[in-house]
């Protein structure tokens, strides 16, 4: 064990993240298999592995009912796994080291910065980390209190307290786990609860650096203080907020125009339903309407929103909003015949553009292979729409489903488990864990290939 610990601490940041998430999933699986976590015969080892992976990877896809097939102890395990997976395994490792009076090794700090802060912050890591934990705790507690007040008239006090805490953490961590078999369909007329969950999902999908920056500006404004730094938000913050706003407005408009299944086109609930699904489809996985009965055009919009996902350093999956913005900016530059990629009058470094392009390409490749695997593993007659939706939902750690999850074969479940794992860590992180970049020692002559 001492040798294993030494190897993990001194391994690359990407490999350390991969092993940390794998260990968390393994521990969660063993805990869910305990007799106190589920009624007898309700959870097989494969079901436990699937549930633990979905919780740690904050996906929300389930093959068992969280409310019926798990005991309160089992639900508490799922909630703990969601919180650990949402904030990141390395965050809690840093917390444990700090409480023990020790410091994380530099490789571990680098892994935490890559997965959570998404920037070089070694010198200011500790204060940022503790501010982030306090902010997350405040947001989740406030969200749970508001949800408790909205649920109290219709439910018993004990159940309302447990349900509000569970759904507040699940929403902020963009997990999509619900205690109810119909997700939030039964709560769609409870506008305050749906609005609260929507706000928690958006905040959890913005990323911790954006939350801290916005919080710092708001606190300075409320105190009447003049900001000591730049007067404008950072480029990263502006890209994240702008892209998020466009996706929310555009996604809501498209879903309203194409309809969401069982809602009347003239019903005001369709507008609220379209907005909520545009929010939750990008990361969270809750639904207030049956996804399986949605029109094909609406399902296509949901797939596109899921593939983009949330923002870097957040609880969300997908290729991230910044990759979408960089990709569109690069496309614009290519059409105009320019080499420089510019966003908000700022030049994006070539290595960042290359990383975003590689991330998008690997994501498309993984999902393409996944559709083939699921198509081969599922029985004949399974709709291609359901297969594509399930694959992208698992990869983007969203958790929405058209109803295919419960019908997955053993091979399909194993593939979805791998997809959730890769989607949570990111295909680039997984690739860097096994590949070592080397500077080429040979130069090659240029060649021309016709395109277009």
In DSSP notation, 46-98 reads HHHHHHHHHHHTT----SS-TTTSS-HHHHHHHHHHHHHHHH-HHHHHHHHHH
| Among candidate residues 66, 100, 68, 246, the one with its CA nearest the CA of residue 169 | 66
* Residue extents of the structural domains in the chain: 2-433
**Secondary structure (3-state) at 62:** coil
Q: Assess whether pLDDT exceeds 50 at residue 62.
A: yes
CB neighbours of residue 20 within 10 Å: 23
- For 256, the token pair is 């309203």
Q: What is the pLDDT of residues 398-408, one digit of tens each?
A: 988 988 998 99
Q: How many CA atoms lie within 13 Å of 228's alpha carbon, on the beta-carbon side? A: 1
pLDDT at 109: 54
DSSP state, 102? -
Q: Helices (H) and strands (E) in the chain — how many of each?
A: 18, 2
pLDDT level of residue 271 (50, 70, 90 thresholds): low
**Of 32, 92, 86, 87, the residue nearest 62 (C-alpha):** 32
What's the Cα-to-Cα distance from 4 to each of 19, 26, 106, 295, 430, rounded to whole Å? 11, 16, 17, 52, 20
Cα separation, 438 vs 172, whole angstroms: 39
DSSP H or E run through 434: helix 427-434
C-alpha triplet 398, 387, 278: angle, nearest 5°: 35
As a whole number of angstroms, the distance between CA 359 and CA 308 comes to 11
The pLDDT tens digits of the residues spanning 225-240 come to 665 555 678 888 999 9
What is the tens place of the pLDDT at every residue in 64-88?
Answer: 888 888 988 999 999 999 988 877 6
Tell me how far apart the alpha carbons of residues 38 and 51 are, in angstroms, rounded to a whole number: 12
Provide the token pair at 78: 């799922």
User: Quick check: 384 and 400 in contact, CB under 8 A?
Assistant: no
Of the pLDDT bands very low, low, confident and very high (cuts 50, 70, 90), residue 186 is confident
Q: What is the pLDDT of residues 313-338, one digit of tens each?
A: 777 888 999 999 999 999 999 999 89
Q: What is the value of pTM for the model shown?
A: 0.85
Please state, in angstroms and rounded to a whole number, the distance separating the CA atoms of residues 80 and 240. Answer: 28
Q: What is the pLDDT of residue 361?
A: 93
- For 47, the 3-state DSSP assignment is helix
């Amino acid at each position: 064990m001492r040798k294993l610990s030494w190897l993990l601490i001194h391994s690359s940041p990407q490999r350390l993240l991969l092993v940390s998430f794998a260990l968390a999933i393994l521990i969660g699986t063993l805990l869910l298999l305990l007799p106190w976590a589920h009624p007898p015969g309700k959870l097989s080892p494969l079901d436990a592995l699937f549930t633990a992976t979905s919780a740690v990877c904050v996906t929300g896809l389930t093959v068992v009912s969280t409310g019926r097939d798990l005991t309160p102890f089992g639900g508490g395990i799922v909630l703990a796994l969601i919180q650990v997976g949402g904030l990141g395994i390395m965050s809690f490792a840093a917390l444990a080291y700090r409480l023990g009076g020790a410091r994380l090794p530099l490789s571990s700090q680098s892994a935490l910065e890559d997965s959570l802060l998404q920037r070089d912050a070694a010198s200011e890591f500790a204060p940022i980390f503790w501010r982030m934990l306090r902010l997350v705790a405040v947001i989740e507690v406030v969200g749970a209190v508001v949800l408790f007040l909205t649920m109290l008239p219709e439910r018993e006090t004990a159940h309302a307290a447990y349900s509000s805490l569970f759904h507040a953490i699940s929403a902020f961590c963009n997990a999509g786990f619900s205690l109810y078999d119909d997700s939030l369909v039964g709560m769609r007329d409870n506008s305050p609860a749906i609005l609260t969950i929507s706000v928690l999902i958006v905040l959890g999908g913005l990323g911790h650096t954006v939350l801290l920056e916005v919080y710092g500006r708001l606190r300075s404004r409320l105190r009447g203080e003049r900001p000591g730094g730049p007067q404008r938000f950072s480029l990263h913050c502006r890209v994240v907020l702008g892209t998020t706003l466009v996706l929310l407005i555009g996604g809501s408009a498209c879903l309203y125009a194409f309809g969401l299944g069982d809602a009347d086109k003239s019903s005001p609930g369709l507008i609220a339903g379209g907005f909520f699904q545009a929010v939750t489809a990008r990361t969270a996985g809750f639904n207030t309407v049956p996804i399986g009965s949605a029109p094909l055009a609406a399902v296509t919009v949901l797939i596109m929103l899921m593939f983009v996902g949330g923002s870097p350093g957040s609880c969300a999956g997908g290729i991230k909003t910044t990759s979408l913005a960089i990709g569109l900016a690069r496309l614009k530059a290519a059409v105009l015949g320019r080499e420089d990629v510019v966003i908000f009058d700022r030049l994006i470094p070539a290595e960042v553009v290359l990383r975003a392009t590689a991330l998008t390409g690997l994501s498309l490749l993984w999902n393409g292979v996944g559709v083939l695997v699921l198509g081969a593993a599922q029985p004949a007659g399974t709709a291609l729409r359901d297969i594509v939706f399930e694959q992208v939902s698992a990869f983007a750690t969203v958790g929405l489903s058209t109803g295919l999850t419960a019908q997955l074969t053993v091979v399909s479940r194993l593939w979805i488990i791998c997809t959730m794992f890769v989607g949570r860590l990111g295909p680039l992180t997984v690739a860097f864990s096994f590949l070592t970049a080397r500077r080429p020692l040979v130069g090659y002559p240029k060649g021309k290939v016709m395109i277009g």
